Amino acid sequence: MLNDGGVVAIPTETVYGLACSIDRPEAIRRVFKLKRRPSDNPLIVHVHAVDQALELTASRDQNILRRLAEVFWPGPLTVVVSRSSKVSDLVSAGLDTVAIRMPAHPVALEILRGTQSPLAAPSANISGRPSPTRAQHVLDDFGDELMIIDGGACEHGLESTVVRVIGSECLILRQGALSADDLRHALPELFVRSANEADQRHRSPGTRYRHYAPKARVVICRSPEQVQDMLAENPAERAVVLTSAISVERNADLNARMVNAATLYDEFRRADALQVERIIVLCDDELSRNEALMNRLDKASESGGQSGDEAV
Ligand code: TXA
Ligand code: MG
């Protein structure tokens, strides 16, 4: 199907992807349309071999691509490089760069080995919904509009980390499954930092849009007492409390559900299905340690329940 220009949802170790051949313009357009994604937001290209990635990369960025690939691929690191002429404007949304990664999921790799070209694959959610971490989530968003390969629950459950290396600086454009410390330890020759407003030019276009948010309002609390107060203030509200396994056990009276990076989006989707109005997250030390998880929670709590720019 992929070789014929079809669109197929595939599992990866981060989240499910809506895959299509990078050489089939009509399939790429269908992906944008299915997702209702703004056409100025580029797609990630997935490969099964470093050579395949090098073909998509302009010569000036090939060394850095090799270096990052050697350490982190296959795995949840997406590398933004200057693109070669093999990458179409459709995939890169007109930018002169392309985002590439080699997924670690055995099914994704097998599919990539079997297709004639690399596969473009954004997360397999409709814009405005949390990324899918189970085949059922994809089914919930797209129904029987497309084929879904069920690879079980995603190992990481958060999207890949997106980086752009400029000189000796490694800019994190999107925090994700691979932590900044993992990057620092493995790449001592690079200065790793998160992109900020001043790096606007290099930022992921996707960060302009509302992200990772369920329909319910997300509120972050720092102590069990704060959670209790919030519940007491709004007794009529449909609320759910999420926290780490440790805090679930320690604070049995909160009736909280266990959450971690791998299950966050699943919990968001579950809350929406139950028409929960407020998701209260008790951020203890355990949850706070995970930067990417906190990043998604912060974004969800900033924008939860509001309309406006949509997630991608
Ligand atoms: O884990 C993942 O990365 C998943 C799985 C399926 O691989 N994919 C994913 O794709 O999250 P998507 O399209 O939902 O998010 C891609 C992000 C967007 O924020 C997009 O703006 C950014 O990567 N991006 C893509 N190409 C870029 C480029 N050339 N320069 C900067 N950012 C880019
Ligand atoms: Mg996405």
Structure confidence at residue 128 (pLDDT): 83
Q: Report pLDDT digits (tens) over 3-39.
A: 999 999 999 999 999 999 999 999 999 999 999 999 9
Q: Is 206 in the pocket of ligand 1 (CB under 6 A)?
A: yes
Please give the Cα distance from 62 to 71 (Å, whole number): 15
Q: Exposure string (b/e) for 190-216, b if CB count within 10 Å is 16 or more?
A: bebeebeeebeeebbebeebbbbbbbb
Q: Is 74 in the pocket of ligand 1 (CB under 6 A)?
A: no
Structure confidence at residue 211 (pLDDT): 65
Q: Report pLDDT digits (tens) over 196-207.
A: 877 765 566 766
Q: Is 161 in the pocket of ligand 1 (CB under 6 A)?
A: no
Please give the Cα distance from 181 to 85 (Å, whole number): 34
- The yes-or-no verdict on residue 145 having pLDDT over 90 is no
Per this entry, what is the length of the chain?
Answer: 312
Delimit the domains of the chain by residue range: 217-300
User: Which strand (E) or helix (H) includes residue 281?
Assistant: strand 278-282
Confidence of residue 309 (pLDDT cuts 50, 70, 90): very low
Tell which residue, 296, 279, 128, has the closest CA to residue 216.
279
185 against 213, higher pLDDT? 185
**What is the pTM for the complete model shown?**
0.94
**C-alpha 312 to ligand 2 mean position (Å):** 4
Cβ atoms of residues 282 and 224 within 8 Å: yes
Distance in Å from the first CA to the final CA of the chain: 24
Please choose from 127, 204, 264 the residue to mutate so as to test ligand 1's pocket, defined by most ligand atoms within 8 A of CB: 204
3-state secondary structure of 139: helix
Q: Is 160 in the pocket of ligand 1 (CB under 6 A)?
A: yes
Please choose from 57, 129, 162 the residue to mutate so as to test ligand 1's pocket, defined by most ligand atoms within 8 A of CB: 162
Structure confidence at residue 264 (pLDDT): 98
Confidence of residue 311 (pLDDT cuts 50, 70, 90): very low
Minimum-distance ligand 1 atom for the alpha carbon of 17: 6
**C-alpha 241 to ligand 1 mean position (Å):** 30
**C-alpha 47 to ligand 1 mean position (Å):** 14
